[in-house]
Structure 1
Amino acid sequence: MHLAELNIGRLLAPTDDPQVAEFMENLDRINGLGKRMPGFVWMMEGSGEPGTGNTENSIDGDPQFVSNLTVWETPAQLQTFVFETLHARFMDRKAEWFERLVRMHFVMWWIEEGHRPTLDEALEKLALREEQGDSTEAFGWDWLRAKYL
């Protein structure tokens, strides 16, 4: 089994606005770092245009609502990327670029090796976690750490 994760956020401004420029300018750098990490399997991507990441994959037709959907071999490898690399410094600055969401914004779940989840599938997992809390079907870091790390 592999581990899929979805993280969503709503930018404070459109992707071409100076308010979020530093974030947008570093998407390729951070995504590239993730792709080179041990255990990285796959990432949902947009047009491939420099500095856009997968921002074309908006949620509910809102171009400021962006997502990150990736697949990893193990929880420990994802944890290393998220919390022990340059990614963590950008994550610590999310309030500079993203609205504070009142709804659930992050979910992980197990998938069969070789499966590439769609954004719709990932959003269903996010809704499941929001409605039912952590379970074997959809979970967050605390649940994962208690079971696997």
Structure 2
Amino acid sequence: MAGHQLAQVNVARLRHPVDDPRLRPFFDALARVNKAADAAPGFVWRHQDPNGHLRGGTLLGDDRMVINMSVWESYPAMHAFVYRAIHGRYLRRRAEWFERVAPPYIALWWVPEGTRPTPEDALTRWRYLCAHGPTPQVFTVRTRFDEHGRRERVTPPPR
């Protein structure tokens, strides 16, 4: 039986139109952050778009929505990159560039090894999470399930 990997989609709304100079630091950092992701332990794949992030105009009906998708070997690998590596430095500045949106803004789910979700597949999962809450089919960082559908014990991050 093939193994599983963790897919994620992150949905956010930019504070300003994409050509606004206030977003320049964010867009300038994308190539550096994406390069670090590509080299991160446990990283498998990320959706690549010429703009860095997939724009949500067509998929979500809002040109200021951006979508980020990736696949990781495990939750700990994804967590280490998202919160501890260079990405974490920019994540702490997200309020400068992104509006606060109603959760969940990230959806996680297990895929068979080698699977690369499409944006449509990812947004279907995200919409299901929004409508039904965390389940073994799609879940959040705080309410996670393992690849067998068993709820994982999640400890709060240290303060």
Query: Same fold, TM exceeding 0.5?
Result: yes
Specify the alignment match of 2:148 in structure 1.
none
Deviation by residue 1:85-141 (Cα, 9 ceiling, x = unmatched): 111111111110011112521100000111110111111111111111111111111
Residue 21 (structure 2) aligned to one of 10, 18, 23? 18
Instruction: Return the structure number with greater helix share.
Output: 1
**Structure 2 residue 63 is the aligned partner of structure 1 residue 53:** no
Deviation at 1:144, TM superposition (A): 2.4
- Structure 2: gaps (5+ residues): 146-150, 155-159
Q: Deviations over 1:30-75 (max 9, x none)?
A: 111111001111111112xxxx313446442422110100000111
Asked if the contact 1:4/1:110 (under 8 Å) is kept, the reply is: yes
Q: How many residues align?
A: 145
Taking a change above 3 Å as real, the CA distance of residues 66 and 104 of structure 1, as seen in their structure-2 partners, is same
Match of 2:42 among 39, 57, 69: 39
TM-score, scaled to structure 2: 0.84
- More moved, 117-126 vs 55-64: 55-64
Q: State the SS of the aligned residue for 2:126.
A: helix
In our comparison, the structure showing a higher alpha carbon Rg is 2
CA distance, structure 2, for counterparts of residue 55 and residue 10 of structure 1 = 12
Moved over 3 A (4+): 55-59
User: How far apart are the structure 2 equivalents of 1:79 and 1:20?
Assistant: 25
Q: Say what the alpha-carbon RMSD is for the aligned residues.
A: 1.8
Larger deviation, residues 138-147 vs 120-129: 138-147
Q: TM-score, normalised by structure 1?
A: 0.89
Q: Any gaps of 5 or more consecutive residues in structure 1?
A: none
Quote the Cα distance in structure 2 between the aligned partners of 1:134 and 1:144.
8
Asked whether the equivalents of residues 9 and 99 of structure 1 are also in contact (C-alpha less than 8 Å), the reply is: yes
